[in-house]
């Protein structure tokens, strides 16, 4: 697609990967609506980026409905969804509180599902659209202390596969980006420390991949792209 013709909804875009994707798409001429759970952050980021923004918790269906109604009112149509909202904590199986496990599934899976569902209604009606789900290399292989996060990202991959099978006849491209460790607030919120930061991925790397995937001629699409740091050690 031509990026200047993109009308984009990005969830979880008040920082990190979502913010950088919004910034990059806007710089290429796209119209963008961002969302997040903190109204003050949404307003601040929308003003910084020169885009539209609305408070929305993707785990709440009414919020998702309001997000898409708002986006349609501002852009008249939508042809791209970037499903970026996500949370993560890491602990052993026996030490993982049920509420933390549930929270990851509510945001990472339920939120992805709800946004995808409402976008798909619009895209099917218009017989065109693009969905990029931000997954993780954690959706490719499990590891110790990752039960909640890894399982939720495996589920995102399952959603991507199902939507792709359903929506291709409607000219909807469903794609997934699987970043490895990216230097964002996600790391500190998850209680992890950062080492060798200069060798690690930054949000801009993922934004470039998203733009590249969308920029490909509509006759073709890239189903999945995993992004790794060359030498993070």
Q: Which residues are catalytic?
A: 136, 149, 153
Is 223:176 a contact under the CB 8 Å cutoff?
A: yes
d(CA 168, CA 5): 20
d(CA 22, CA 11): 10
Please choose, from the candidates 123, 124, 66, 111, the residue with its C-alpha nearest in 3D space to the C-alpha of residue 85: 111
* Other Cβ atoms closer than 10 A to 129: 23
Helices (H), the chain: 16-27, 39-49, 61-75, 98-105, 112-126, 147-167, 185-189, 203-215
* Other Cβ atoms closer than 10 A to 109: 20
Across-strand partners of 36?
55
Which residues neighbour 6 within 8 Å (Cβ) at sequence distance 6 or greater?
Answer: 25, 30, 31, 79, 80, 130, 214
């Amino acid at each position: 697609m031509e990026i200047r013709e993109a009308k984009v909804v990005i969830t979880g875009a008040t920082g990190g990967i979502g913010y950088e994707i919004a910034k990059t798409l806007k710089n290429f001429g796209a119209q963008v609506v961002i969302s997040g759970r903190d109204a003050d952050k949404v307003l601040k980021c929308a003003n910084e980026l020169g885009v539209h923004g609305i408070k929305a918790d993707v785990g709440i269906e009414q919020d998702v409905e309001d997000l898409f109604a708002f986006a349609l009112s501002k852009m008249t149509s939508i042809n791209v969804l970037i499903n970026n909202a996500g949370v993560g904590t890491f602990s052993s199986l026996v030490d993982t509180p049920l509420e933390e496990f549930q929270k990851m599934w509510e945001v990472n899976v339920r939120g992805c599902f709800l946004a995808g569902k409402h976008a798909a209604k619009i895209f099917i009606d218009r017989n065109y659209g693009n969905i990029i789900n931000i997954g993780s290399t954690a959706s490719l292989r499990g590891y110790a202390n990752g039960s909640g996060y890894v399982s939720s990202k495996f589920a995102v991959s399952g959603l991507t596969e199902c939507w792709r099978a359903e929506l291709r006849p409607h000219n909807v491209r469903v794609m997934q980006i699987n970043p490895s460790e990216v230097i964002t607030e996600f790391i500190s919120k998850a209680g992890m420390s950062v080492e060798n930061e200069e060798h690690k991925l930054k949000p801009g790397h993922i934004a470039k991949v998203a733009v590249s995937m969308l920029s490909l001629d509509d006759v073709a699409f890239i189903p999945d792209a995993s992004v790794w740091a060359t030498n993070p050690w």
